[in-house]
Amino acid sequence: MTSIHPILVIGIGNDYRRDDAVGLYVARKIREKDLDGVKVIDGISDGTSLIDAWEHAARVYFIDGTISGSLAGKIFRFDGLNETIPHELFPPFSTHAINVADAVRLAETLGQFPPSLIIFGIEGKNFEAGYGLAEAVQSAAEEVIGRIIREIEELGRNGH
DSSP line for the chain: -TTSPPEEEEE---TTBGGGGHHHHHHHHHHHTT-TTEEEEE--SSTHHHHHHTTT-SEEEEEEEE-SSS-TT-EEEEETTTSPPPGGGS-TTSS-SS-HHHHHHHHHHHT---SEEEEEEEE-S--SSBS---HHHHHHHHHHHHHHHHHHHHHHHTT-
Interaction pattern, residues 51-90, with other proteins; x per rule: CB under 8 A:
xx--------------------------------------
Among 58, 75, 106, 134, which residue sits at the site for other proteins (rule: CB under 8 A)?
106
Least distance from C-beta 157 to other proteins, angstroms? 33
Least distance from C-beta 52 to other proteins, angstroms? 5
Which parts of this chain interact with other proteins (CB under 8 A)? 14-16, 43-46, 48-49, 51-52, 92-93, 95-98, 102, 105-106, 109-112, 128-129
